[in-house]
Chain A
Amino acid sequence: MKRSYVMAGVLIAVAVLYLLVSSTGTTANFFLTIEEFRALDEDLRGRNVTLSGAVIGESIHYDASIPEVTFTIVQIPGDRKEINVAGGLAAVLAMAVNNPDAAQMDVVYRGVRPDLLQHEAQAIVRGSLQPNGVFHADDLLLKCPSRYAEDLPAQIED
């Protein structure tokens, strides 16, 4: 193969690798559990992160006129193996909401209350911690343990 080809190929590859690494540094989110987030250094806390936790049903408050929904999520393990050892996601979620000592996080989300925002649902929130200690979620994804087993195949769902 000609040298110019190799050079051009390497050049493109290096540029793309640079893009990959630098974008991960600037625009990718940390994916953390609440405990991990609490343990973060002060200067990292303002960053955009993704948190996952179990929703406490009683804490859900919805103001339809803004619209804005506030709720509290509690610590669940982030590691899949740990979840499986504890008996699956549904069991982990049920345990988390009944554990008064679990780390908590108040979340505010500007938007309509999603149907799936229920007691014991798993919430994945993307956003950042505000100075007042409330987590401001730009995105809110929910998984319900009861529907979790519903069987849409991968290729149907995109």
Chain B
Amino acid sequence: MLGDIGLLITALAWVATLYGGVAALISIRTQDRRWLESGRNAMIASAALLGGAVLLLVLAFLTDNFRIMYVANHSSRLQPLYLKFSALWGGQEGSLLLWSAMQAFLAVVALREGDEHKRALIPWAMVVLAVVGLFFTGVTLYHSNPFTQFSRMPLDGRGLNPVLRHPGMLFHPPTLYVGYVGLSIPFAYALSSLITKLRPGVPLPTGSWVRIVHGWLLLAWLGLSLGLLLGMRWAYDVLGWGGYWGWDPVENAGLMPWFTLTALLHGVVIEDEAGRRGGRRGFRMWNYILAVLSFALVLFGTFATRSGLIQSVHAYAVSGLGGVFMTAIVVSLITGIGLVIAAFHRESREERKRPTSSVEDDFPLLSREGLFFLTVVLFLMLTLSVFVGSVLPTVTELLVGRRFEAGPEWFDRVTGPQFALLVLLMGVCPLIGRGLAAFRLSFKQGTAGFGAFMGLMGAGATVGLGLWAGFVQPASLLGFALTGLAATTAVYEFAHASARRMERRNEALHVAFWGLVRTQRRRYGGYIVHLGVILMAVGVIGTRMYQVERQMVFQAGEPAEVGRYSLVFDFLSQDRVGDRLSTWAEVTLYTDRGYAATLLPQVDRYEAFQQSYSATALRAGVREDLTLILAGWSEDGTAVTLKAVVNPLAFFLWLGGLVFLAGGALAFWPRSAGGLWNVIAPVLIVSMLAGSAWAMWGTAQGVVINRGVADSSSGSTRYGGRARVGQPAPDLNLTGLAGETLSTEALRGEIVVLNFWAPWCPACKENMPMLQTVADDYLDRGVTFVGIAFQADERSVLDTLAQIGITYAVALDDEGETVSRYGITGVPETFILDPDGTVAFVHVGPLRENRLRSELDALVGDR
């Protein structure tokens, strides 16, 4: 029932969109605005219907309507409420429906009435947006219907794929869709502008299409950026490989439209400035091409991985969607590029007929315009590089008959220099932003010279810092120099402009600064974005060039070194909750300053999905992040395989990400107060920033516990963790049950075997006869055995000892003081202290006889 209604209203929405497109065409033909109004109403109806379809699907999730196949495949009765919501976009069908609905809603907003210029462009934009809407709604209906039903109702659903149950993943898809859908609007207005230019008899509208879509570009940019960052963070937390970017085709698919969009944002600035000066050229043709390319790349991104064109780990079933999307890409590219060529061809023909009256722009390469041009070229080259890398197997097979595959190394090598050049441009641009002549002039006056001097100082200081912190590879130092230069000149730009404003308006520094940021949001938002990128670049250099990765087997209690850390695996635990079996290792982390933290890397196994979800333990720091991943364990739980990854400077990557988003948000912040949008936008922006900050830092993914243990005997706090090999043994101050003095002083000069046990622990009792045998053998060789019982009363301890026949000294640690000093996490645990009172051996769990003997032989032999 629900499913039928859902299908019906989706189909109605498709019809409404079709009507909207046709009505817009009629209005163009007849010049009758009433047809346009009618078409607009149809678009609104379509958006409302698709919104209704989405709500129905949400309702189906909330009411556990498992007759609907999509619900059954992505939800289950026990699934928490928030996951039932996010399951909406947990699969292809729901994602496409959501996409279609967002497409319809944003189209309605984008087609609102505006100034004269916008009104001239709306009809054709409506046609284009209707076609785009028809495409996505049509694909949802015919190829990927979320309302498909089973003939009977299953009892329960499969639940959401476990790897998607992460906060980063909750918001990652919808934010990416905002970016993707947002890009269809510049595309529509670009095409509309080109078509309007080509129509004979229609006067060319004044102004430029880019002013209409500037806000949309920023919205799409914010959506894509946030989506990419959340995806990176998700990979960092969940995928269990200690990285955040693997140059996988699916990642690349999101990155390419981001490149072209960023290029477009730069091109738009120059077109805007040229327009204001009365010039005409600017980057107009580039901007059209970039808008078309961005949209085509969005289609490519959604299509690529399911077409078979690209080999990917993520390449799931090759669905029939490949061909449909391929056609859409070809159509949009041919239409777009064809229109650009036709329009500019006609324009140059007309120009030849009559001499132009407008001002020709003429800027040297080393000017703001020139540098922006280079920026656009670089972004296009990056797009090309990533595109080539993604389709390399297919391309090389065609060209040389052999498939080559581009790995991360290939991408790093190809894109690295291009990114470096971009950072250099960022650094140089504020200095010669007003043209080389202006630069020379201000150089004489001292201001720009001062800026350049500061830039070089910044570069030097960053390199110095890098060297001091031990990052000595020449390529990374070059990278640091570039980031230092760019960061200083960006800050200099703020300082310089504030100072000028202070002087001009006679304002205080903070007033001038805020005034600047408030009145020129896009410009200074852009500079903040640059600062974010620079910070991220530092993180990328650190993590890409200095990452340390080690995978090894840890025996319980035995320390292992990774970088400057010493890790001790303590014990393994398991717990079953619902369909999930959680296994986690408790690992104590020491630095050269002693105990640092306890890390709990965990693996959740979902039987229903035959899939494991690795919750890494992450200890984040400014200098570096340490990630521990539980990779495997032995049957008895006394050994685990851990992967440890040290990511230097990763902190700057995530910090830069937030700065970057904040800059974008500032640029997007509405210009003037008043109007509904000016209320919605700030709310959206603030919640987005707060949400991403939470997703990136606030989640308890890296479970780290700091345990400080108060040492009551000395009155000081000793930090937790087990006593370690090579360290002085913690104090002993016990009296044996037979009255022996068991103190550090009394036992000095002896090899001491300390066995912690408890009468209620069967494994301990099984182990003790062996200890007695060995104790007897080593009695006259300077080895003393001491049993320490805890969480027990004297009676039961004495009974147990008599039963087993233990004759070595045993003390009862009623207060648990010794136990906490030694950092025991369970019984049995055994320590061997050498004659100097240093810990020589630690073992967690039952001890094997040959192991104990070989350790003792080594110590006895030393004497």
Contact = CB atoms under 8 A, between A and B. Distances in A.
Interface of A: 2, 4-5, 8-9, 12-13, 15-16, 19-20, 23-24, 26-32, 50, 64-67, 78, 80, 110-113, 115, 124, 126, 141, 143, 147-158
Contacts of B363: 2
Contacts of B161: 150, 152
Chain B, interface size category, equals 35 or more
Contact of B404 (A31, A111, A143): A31
Contacts of A80: 308, 318
Nearest to A49: B405
B248 interface: yes
Given A19-B385, A24-B406, 12 more contacts: A4-B364, A5-B365, A16-B384, A23-B414, A24-B410, A30-B404, A112-B551, A149-B317, A154-B250, A154-B304, A155-B302, A158-B231
B632 A64 contact: yes
12 contacts: A16-B381, A19-B385, A23-B414, A24-B396, A27-B409, A28-B392, A78-B403, A152-B91, A152-B316, A155-B302, A156-B173, A157-B314
B611 interface: yes
A2 B73 contact: no
B733 interface: no
User: What 5 A-B pairs have minimum CB-CB distances, sorted nearest first?
Assistant: A153-B92, A31-B403, A158-B250, A154-B305, A112-B631
B374 interface: yes
Contacts of B370: 4-5, 8
Nearest to A9: B377
B365 A4 contact: yes
A27 B413 contact: yes
Contact of A28 (B304, B362, B410, B641): B410
A91 to B, nearest CB: 14
Contact of A64 (B95, B177, B553): B553
Contacts of A28: 392, 396, 404-407, 410
A155 B377 contact: no
B823 interface: no
A27 B405 CA distance: 9
B417 interface: yes
B365 A158 contact: no
B676 to A, nearest CB: 30
User: Looking at A26, A28, A126, A155, which has the most chain B CB atoms within 10 Å of its CB?
Assistant: A155
B632 A112 contact: yes
Interface in B401-435: 402-407, 409-410, 413-414, 417-418, 421
Contacts of B414: 16, 19-20, 23
Contacts of B639: 64-65
B634 interface: yes
A24 B404 contact: yes
B281 to A, nearest CB: 8
B413 A23 contact: yes
B763 interface: no
A4 B612 CA distance: 56
Is chain B's binding surface mostly helix, strand, loop or mixed? Answer: helix
A60 to B, nearest CB: 15
B475 interface: no
B377 A12 contact: yes
Contacts of A27: 407, 409-410, 413
Interface in B309-325: 311, 313-314, 316-318
A148 B317 CA distance: 6
Nearest to B642: A112
Contacts of A111: 551, 631
B90 interface: yes
A2 B362 contact: yes
A135 to B, nearest CB: 16
B176 interface: yes
A24 B316 CA distance: 26
Given A20-B385, A64-B553, A152-B316, A12 B302 contact: no
Contacts of B316: 148-152, 154, 157
B233 interface: no
Contact of A31 (B173, B311, B612): B311
Contact of B405 (A26, A50, A150, A157): A50
Given A16-B385, A19-B417, A64-B634, A151 B92 contact: yes
A9 B375 CA distance: 10
Contacts of B364: 2, 4
Interface in B699-755: none
B306 interface: yes
Contacts of B93: 151
Contacts of B413: 19, 23, 26-27
Contacts of A158: 231, 248, 250-251, 253-254, 314
B7 interface: no
A20 B314 contact: no
Nearest to A62: B632
A155 B250 CA distance: 7
A156 B164 contact: yes
Interface in B500-529: none
Contacts of A50: 405
Contacts of A31: 311, 393, 403-405
B654 interface: no
A13 B381 CA distance: 7
A6 to B, nearest CB: 10
User: Looking at A2, A28, A124, A154, which has the most chain B CB atoms within 10 Å of its CB?
Assistant: A154
A155 B248 CA distance: 12
Contact of B553 (A20, A29, A65): A65
Contacts of B169: 156
Contacts of A150: 161, 316-317
Contact of A154 (B314, B385, B410): B314
A108 to B, nearest CB: 15
A111 B552 CA distance: 9
A12 B378 contact: yes
Given A2-B362, A24-B392, A151 B317 contact: yes
A154 B248 contact: no
B173 A155 contact: yes
B40 to A, nearest CB: 29
Contacts of B407: 27-29, 126
A115 B612 contact: yes
B301 interface: yes
A30 to B, nearest CB: 6
Contact of B95 (A4, A67, A143, A156): A156
B774 interface: no
B610 interface: yes
Contacts of B402: 30
A48 to B, nearest CB: 8
A97 B751 CA distance: 59
Contacts of B73: 151
A29 B406 CA distance: 6
B89 interface: yes
B403 A20 contact: no
B89 A156 contact: yes
B480 interface: no
Interface string B156-200: 000001001000010011001100100000000000000000000
Contacts of B381: 12-13, 16
Contacts of B378: 12
A66 B551 CA distance: 9
A153 B526 CA distance: 33
Nearest to B310: A154
B105 interface: no
B418 A16 contact: yes
A115 B417 contact: no
A155 B91 contact: no
B822 interface: no
Nearest to A3: B365
Nearest to A154: B305
A110 B553 CA distance: 12
Contacts of B90: 156
Nearest to B89: A156
